[in-house]
Amino acid sequence: MVRAFLIRVFVPCQRRTVASAVLLALGMSGLAVSQLPSGSASAAQVTFTMDFPQSDPSHYSIAVDTAGHASYECVGKVQEDSEEQSYRTEFNVSAVNRERIFGWAKQAKYFSGKIDSGNQKLAFTGTKILSYQDVTKSFTARYNYSSLEPVRQLTEAFQNMAGTLDYGRRLAYYHRYQKLALDEELKRMEMQARNNQLSEIQGLEPVLQAIVEDTSVMNGVRARAKALIELGSGAANGH
């Protein structure tokens, strides 16, 4: 039986498109979603999209607006023999990353021109798209590799962010289907966090909080999840 969930609790989803809270309450099948209030319709937005069929996830995109609202959505497999599933989460991006993203977008002239290096000898590392939209302009640029420094900075920032946020997809899956795998996944997170390799950990708070509150999960695992929530909260506030 499908159950309805409250906002900010992870609930099933099935599509790449943004699902409304009403549809989620009716119970779409798939992986987890968290919901936060959407930003102002007039806020500028930068979006990074990656499509790379040979990788996991094979597709993801991150959108950040000037109000600080951000979303991450992807399609991938948690296990090699499993079907691809969609995952989406929304969160508030840190002020530092928000300012950097829009600063680099400005330096790159909002992607209004060609940003791909045009070097056909370079290995294919996924089709990347950067787009900028506000009330007066809208630009989109596709590339494999860019020699423009602000574009390179944006690419690295978004890829690091995606690497962190994708933990949410796996943690949600393991929490639902394979709880014994949570400990190893959270240990990997802790190690990367200690090495400053994670970005926007607060975007994982809903799925981490669900683990903390689940008494059927081992206490040590719940403690790890709680510590990561606190770490993410501190980083988001610049501590």
For residue 87, being part of any structural domain is answered with yes
Residue 209: Cβ-neighbour burial (10 angstroms; 0-12, 13-18, 19+): middle
**Of 35-44, 75-84, 203-212, 229-238, which gets the smallest average pLDDT?**
35-44
Percent of the chain whose pLDDT exceeds 70: 80
For residue 110, being part of any structural domain is answered with yes
For residue 13, being part of any structural domain is answered with no
Give the pLDDT band of residue 233 (cuts 50, 70, 90). confident
Residue 10 has pLDDT above 50, yes or no: no
For residue 3, being part of any structural domain is answered with no
Instruction: Give per-residue pLDDT as tens, 41-67.
Output: 568 999 999 999 988 999 999 999 999
**Stated length of the chain:** 239
For residue 105, being part of any structural domain is answered with yes
pTM of the model: 0.80
Number of domains in the chain: 1
Instruction: Give per-residue pLDDT as tens, 148-184.
Output: 999 999 999 999 999 999 999 999 999 999 999 999 9
Strand pairing partners for 13?
A: 31
Residue 112 has pLDDT above 90, yes or no: yes
CA atoms within 13 A of residue 203's CA, in its CB half-sphere: 31
What pLDDT shows up at residue 80? 78
What pLDDT shows up at residue 82? 76
For residue 86, being part of any structural domain is answered with yes
Residue 36: Cβ-neighbour burial (10 angstroms; 0-12, 13-18, 19+): middle
Domain that holds residue 151: 21-236
d(CA 209, CA 132): 33
Closest CA to 170 of 211, 112, 141, 215: 211
Residue 227 has pLDDT above 60, yes or no: yes
- The values of phi and psi at residue 119, to 5°, are -80, 105
